[in-house]
């Protein structure tokens, strides 16, 4: 097949499928081994689609190029969520998203086979590149928060996909606290904590680039989305699935607490799924509020997301690692029911609900959930942190050990708050 100068990158957002530098005038994707990108899936046609590059001379001896994608499938090729149609084609432009079998739904990255097209002829080289621009190609924005933005990017040499958190240094300035130190401490703290963590269920910090105006954190990229959206899609988890996921979470918290680290912002949004195939393989992320506890085992700054905060974080000057276990209890409640135990729609103010542990188990939702699961939730959502289970104790609870028959009363062993 004839080749030309590289005109594009096809960036795969499935970690099992490699990205591809486009140099051929005809590039094919499909199930057959003869394709340039092979996808082993019965839903994918032998030659699912074709990407075609053409050049045409126009006036003044200038050359114009066209890139189109041709749908050759029976199950569908979608560009920006719109079906092309069998034997039909559309022009492919920089930034277009290509998905197979089904489109993106509700703005979420649902499709298993998803690619991003990067037009190398359109993107001009940046003069005076800093080090990160030399090593990485930024693709598109994945998320935006008060700290800055997260971008999907690829490593120039290997096409490996990563997530890069960009933090403008003007975010470090906090006039209420007389300078930039308060915010800078948060980000530097996240770096210092993450660089020393090696656990399969914790997102990996790969590199840090510190430039004059921006701090860049190069992170491991996973393509399963976050647990919040997965619960939204599933509505709720079956007990066996919830057990496996929650055990992974508890083992992660046990690891962190063993290192003297308290996360302080555990919630489904900060738990990523490693891939779209698994509902239980997780990666805990966002350690911006995490802290290494002092010799007393306590921290003092009151942070976190209100619906998941333990009562002691609302009232006490200092609190300990137990606050993470309260958040775990809230997460387990949500996993099994699809509901929030504490929320703003109740008559009682949210902070008061938390201080009193004022929540319930609606019979129409929890009637099919085992007493052992409810028992574990109750032992985690305990107002008194001294009565709350530790991560290790929770890992030895009969529900986690798949010995639910040992508990027939949800209140068994529950001490009054």
Annotated catalytic sites, by residue?
Answer: 265
- Alpha carbon distances (Å) from 4 to 8, 37, 159, 408: 11, 18, 19, 70
Query: In whole angstroms, what is the distance from residue 264 CA to residue 243 CA?
Result: 22
CA dihedral 83, 86, 92, 97 (to 10 degrees): 40
Which residue matches tokens 């003007």? Answer: 170
The span from the CA of 334 to the CA of 388, in Å, is 18
Task: Give the separation between CA 260 and CA 320, rounded to whole angstroms.
Answer: 10
DSSP string computed for 58-84: -GGG-EEEEEEEEE--SS-EEETTEE-
What CA–CA distances, in Å, run from 156 to 14, 137, 163? 18, 6, 14
Within 13 Å and on the Cβ side, how many CA atoms surround 207? 12
**SS3 annotation, 150-173:** EEEEEECCCCCEEEEEEEEHHHHC
Q: Write the CB contacts of 336 (distance below 8 Å, at least 6 apart in sequence).
A: 236, 237, 239, 242, 366, 369, 373, 377
Report the Cα 192 to chain-centroid distance in Å: 21
Phi, psi of 133 (to 5 degrees): -70, -25
Q: From edge to edge, which strands make up the β-sheet containing 148-155?
A: 136-145, 148-155, 161-168, 214-220, 205-210
Find, among 369, 365, 360, 374, the residue nearest to 409 by Cα. Answer: 374
Q: With contact defined as beta carbons under 8 Å apart, do 311 and 302 qualify? A: no
Strands (E), 249-356: 261-262, 271-273, 282-284, 291-292
């Amino acid at each position: 097949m004839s080749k030309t100068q590289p005109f594009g990158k096809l960036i795969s957002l499935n970690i099992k499928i490699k990205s591809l530098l486009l140099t051929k005038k005809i590039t094919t994707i499909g199930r057959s081994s003869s394709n340039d990108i092979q996808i082993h899936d019965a839903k994918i046609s032998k030659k699912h689609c074709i990407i075609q590059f053409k050049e045409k001379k126009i006036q003044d001896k200038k050359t114009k190029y066209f890139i189109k994608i041709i749908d050759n499938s029976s199950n569908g090729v979608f560009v920006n969520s719109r079906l092309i149609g069998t034997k039909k084609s559309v022009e492919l432009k920089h930034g277009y998203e290509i998905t197979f079998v089904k489109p993106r739904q509700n703005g979420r990255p649902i499709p298993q086979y998803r690619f991003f097209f990067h037009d190398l002829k359109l993107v001009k080289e940046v003069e005076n590149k800093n080090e990160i621009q030399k090593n990485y190609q930024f693709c598109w924005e994945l998320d935006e928060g008060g700290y800055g933005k997260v971008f999907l990017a690829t490593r120039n040499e290997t096409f490996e996909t990563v997530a890069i958190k960009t933090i403008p240094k003007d975010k470090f300035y906090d006039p209420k606290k007389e300078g930039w130190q308060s915010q800078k401490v948060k980000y530097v703290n996240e770096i210092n904590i993450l660089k020393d963590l090696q656990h399969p269920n914790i997102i990996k910090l790969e590199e840090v680039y510190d430039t004059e105006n921006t701090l860049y954190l190069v992170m491991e990229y996973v393509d399963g989305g976050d647990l919040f959206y997965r619960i939204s899609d599933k509505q709720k988890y079956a007990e066996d699935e919830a057990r496996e996921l929650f055990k992974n979470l508890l083992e992660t918290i046990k690891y962190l607490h063993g290192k003297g680290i308290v996360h302080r912002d555990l919630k489904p949004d900060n738990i990523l799924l490693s891939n779209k195939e698994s509902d239980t393989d997780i990666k805990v992320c966002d350690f911006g509020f995490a802290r290494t506890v002092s010799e007393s085992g306590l921290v003092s700054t009151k942070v976190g997301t209100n619906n998941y905060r333990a009562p002691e974080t609302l009232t006490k000057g200092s609190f300990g690692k137990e606050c993470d276990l309260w958040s775990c209890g809230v997460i387990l409640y949500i996993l099994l029911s699809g509901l929030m135990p504490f929320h703003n729609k109740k008559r009682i103010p949210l902070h008061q609900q938390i201080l009193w542990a004022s929540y319930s188990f609606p019979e129409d939702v929890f009637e099919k959930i085992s007493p052992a699961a409810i028992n574990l939730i109750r032992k985690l959502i305990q107002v008194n942190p001294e009565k709350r289970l530790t991560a290790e104790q929770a890992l030895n609870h009969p529900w986690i050990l798949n010995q639910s028959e040992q508990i027939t009363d949800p209140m068994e062993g529950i001490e009054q708050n």
